Structure 1
């Protein structure tokens, strides 16, 4: 039983750290990043997300996959212009403004914390 408790705690820590990293990355790029407008390109064959093409402040043209998938509720249509924030040091780090997916990151944090707590309870009970 102690092995299951350890796996539960480790799995919870991984989920908790993944969610915390996602929240931190989104906050950092949104607050300290450079804002720009990106052109949505068509979804390439074999890809599940469209590409975003934008020009950095120093004139470099960058094309990156969208950080969020297309949904029926919020489609990304080819030719559409969308607001983004990018990391000036690494323009491949992009946040699609208004579609940050903070809810998913908070879900990972909550689930991870729950698993850590459950694993610790298993350790104490066993």
Structure 2
């Protein structure tokens, strides 16, 4: 493979890695902002439409809550149910919502920062791989 093709491949890899880093950083920033400035309310966990009552909760449930201005909203839960916290129909959870955009919520004590950190780590590794490809292409010239 010639050096030009390796450089193009490295450029695409670096761009993809940069997008992954930015996506992870944006997710962490949004969650931190909502935790800092959000309004805390209790939300009712509801089964998503179309799911049977005997079906295990694999899909993200809906969260129903009232905002400060007495609007009732239903939003998809930002986290999936787990064995530790199944989020069954009728449960109540504490959520923090953004007063400027109430559809942006963070479920208190269920924030999973792992995916955002994984995006940042994977993106950084891909960018390092791209740098190594460029160094290899320059060295083989």
Do they superpose with TM above 0.5? Answer: yes
The reply to whether residue 5 of structure 1 matches residue 16 of structure 2 is: no
- Structure 2 gaps of 5+ residues are 1-5, 52-57
What TM-score results when the alignment is normalised by the length of structure 1? 0.94
- Are positions 1:43 and 2:54 aligned together? no
Quote the residue 1:119 is aligned against: 130
Higher-Rg member (1/2) = 2
RMSD of equivalent CA atoms: 1.4
Equivalent residue for 1:16, pick from 21, 26, 32: 21
Task: For residue 116 of structure 1, give the secondary structure of its aligned residue in structure 2.
Answer: helix
Long gaps (5+) in structure 1:
none
Q: In the alignment, which of 36, 44, 67 is matched to residue 31 of structure 1?
A: 36
How far apart, CA to CA, are the structure 1 residues paired with 2:124 and 2:93? 34
The residue matched to 1:64 in structure 2 has which SS?
A: strand
* Matched length: 126
Give distance in 1, aligned partners of 2:101 and 2:116. 22
